[in-house]
Structure 1
Amino acid sequence: MFKIKSLVFIFLVFYSTINYAQFTDVINSNRPGQSMAAFSVGKTVIQAELGINRIIEKDKDVDYKAAIWNSDLALRYGVFFEQFELIANLEYQNEKFTAPGVDIHEGALKKVLIGAKYLIYDPEKNYEKKPNLYSWKANHKFNWRQFIPAVGIYGGVNANLAKNKFLRGSDIPRDEDFTLKGMILTQNQFGRYTFLTNIILDKFPSQRNSIDYVLTMTRGFNDRVSGFLEIQGFNNEFYKDHFLRTGAAYLVRQNIQVDASVASNFQASPNIVFAGVGASWRFDANYNEVMLRVPKEEKNDGKSKKEKKDKEKKDKEKKKRKDAVENTEFK
């Protein structure tokens, strides 16, 4: 039995150079891949990410075929503060399963996952990169700091509303009505490239609990187009597999993105091929900018408080001397 999720990936190519917190000038979507970014959408921001997917699964050893139409929806809302986000993931599946003597057509809400994400560490917060006024080489040397990732955590609850309609095989234990999901999320920015790592504990505690991962590299080609390459792995007692996924996203408007992706698993039994399209939309009319990182030096003319006080003191002394000279000349 396979496990396909049609959730999320990333359009984060515009993130790293800005000085504000979670919120970005353009939509920051997790589509069209399966990984989740460490950063949230921003306080009061509402975001919807919708996908429609076609999945074909074949197994020559067992002699069956499953033709699937799948739709997934992620609803994201930044609440309480900049680093916190509530997320609801819904997935509806319509499947036609055929095997010798078997012809089943099922449709149900396959997944309901309610959770929250919190950014626990941002390497750019309270950090200022000061230029070296005496060395061009020092200003252009390799930046090891980019290997320090932003880190987020996620926790959620799975609700088994489909009641195992899509679980084939009598030797595989059924899902519990409610299970937990937890993730550690990391994010690095390497120029135009963004690298995401998700380490996942899913369906815990149950006999089908799984330790999974997603690794995603995305690149911005220009201000509107980005592409990605992703590998995803599942590892539990009953199913072990890896998926390779690629695709692209296009920024239609500042708050609207469309995307497309394709994927396939590594093993031949079963062989799973996936193709999907989707769109993301953001409502941010209620957002107020919040400064979380240290302002650039230009904000205070590049001078510290002590330097400012010393300058003011010198200016006062200079004025006193000038006044004294003028008074002497008048007398």
Structure 2
Amino acid sequence: MKNLFYLVAFALPLTGLAQYTDVINSNRPGLSVSAYAVGTNVIQMEAGLFYEQSDHELLNTESDIWGTDISLRYGLLFEQLELNYEGSYQNQNISLIGTDVSENLTDFSRNRIGLKYLIYDRYKSEERSKPNLYSWRANNVFQLKNLIPSVSIYGGATFNMGDNPFYVGDPAVSYRGMVATQSKLTPRFVLITNIAYDRISTDFPELSYLVSLSHAFGNPKWSAFLENQGIQSDRYSDVLLRGGVAHLLTDDLQVDLNLGASFKNTPTRIFVTAGASYRFDLHVDKIKAIDEQSADANGGAIKKNAMKKKDRKENKE
């Protein structure tokens, strides 16, 4: 989906044991979450502005919705672990069609924090990450084994700030669990799936899925995605489809645009989102750090031996 700059997904098999990549790994555009973390000591912000037109046939209402969404991600302790916050704050103006009656609602439609941990890395094995030097087809054409995904698990909490008009009656804190998978189908196609159970402990728990297919173009700075989302709850159920593009401006900055719509008329939803992702890259590769420490130690030993030789020479003179 939540998409990433999908170019990163194609580079992931080359990173071995590390989650960190040289190019920003964003979950935008879309809402799906990749299986991989951003890398230790990487601080990443992903934000966007959205507009939605929503018409409800049974209630005879129409709504204009404006809002902003933000995700803050941090690579915590080790490569497989990520701490993240996701929030959406919106203003919804609801009008009764054919009358002057209207209502304005403003609050968080999404406000949660959690931890994601990679429990299985499909490309952890160096042998599995290597290209087949004898077969172009093996490296570039879809094979059934490519469906085997990397898998991460997520646990977190959703917060209601005061009397939230979008979630009337919900407690201040509820809980969320998710499984995220990521498969590299070909060098240009990546499949991501999310299955989540949200608002656990409320009267209206929500089960949802996200399936996202991304494609990198010949120019690797451009990618596109198509995403399907399903939501099942006694409060609200729907099936949504969205698609969009992302463009890499620098190794640390990506911009994106996506459009989407629902499949039913209670309500009918049409929406557009534009956003960007930026990372503060404080990552230090462990292997590189060890090599530098070793080089410093060897350099110190060489310098020390040279001083000893100089002292012996001076003593002889």
**TM-score bin (small chain):** 0.7 to 0.9
| Alpha-carbon distance in structure 2 between the residues aligned to 1:137 and 1:265 | 40
Q: Is the 8 A contact 1:227 1:247 kept in 2?
A: yes
Q: Secondary structure at the match of 2:50?
A: strand
CA change 1:181–1:110 in 2 (3 A) is same
Higher Cα Rg: structure 1 or 2? Answer: 1
- The reply to whether residue 178 of structure 1 matches residue 173 of structure 2 is yes
Q: Deviation per CA, 1:285-318, whole angstroms, max 9, x where unpaired?
A: x211246xxxxxxxxxxxxxxxxxxxxxxxxxxx
Using the TM superposition, give the Cα deviation of residue 175 of structure 1 relative to its aligned residue in structure 2, in angstroms: 1.9
CA contact (8 A) 1:47 1:76 kept: yes
Structure 1 partner of 2:115: 116
Who is 1:163 aligned against? 163
Q: Is the 8 A contact 2:12 2:21 kept in 1?
A: no
Unaligned runs of 5+ in 2: 288-317
Q: Secondary structure at the match of 2:192?
A: strand
* One-letter amino acid of the counterpart of residue 149, structure 1: P
CA 1:144/1:71 → structure 2, altered by over 3 Å: closer, same or farther? same
Shift of 1:217: 0.2
Q: Distance in 2 between matches of 1:225 and 1:257?
A: 10
SS of equivalent residue, structure 2 residue 127: coil
Q: Is the 8 A contact 1:193 1:219 kept in 2?
A: yes
How many residues are paired up?
A: 278
Establish whether residue 13 from structure 1 lines up as the match of residue 7 from structure 2: yes
CA offsets 1:11-54 (integer angstroms, 9 cap, x no match): 23233342341111111100110100000000000000001000
* Preserved contact between residue 227 and residue 248 of structure 1 (Cα < 8 Å): yes
Identical amino acids, percent of aligned pairs: 36
Could you say what secondary structure the match of 1:164 adopts? Answer: coil
Q: 1:138 to 1:258 in 2, by over 3 A?
A: closer
TM-score normalised by the chain length of structure 2: 0.82
**SS of 1:18's equivalent?**
helix
Greater share of helix: 2
**2:154 is the alignment partner of 1:154:** yes
Correspondence for 1:216: 212
CA displacement at 1:139 relative to structure 2: 6.2
Amino acid in the other structure paired with 2:108:
L
Spell out, residue by residue over 1:232-280, the C-alpha distance to the aligned partner (whole angstroms, 9 max, x if none). 0001123221000000000011100000000000002210111010000
Counting only pairs closer than 5 Å after superposition, residues 1-331 of structure 1 correspond to structure 2 as 8-14=2-8, 15-20=11-16, 21-99=18-96, 100=99, 102-129=101-128, 143-161=143-161, 163-166=163-166, 174-190=169-185, 191-221=187-217, 222-284=219-281, 286-290=282-286
CA-based RMSD of the aligned residues comes to 2.3
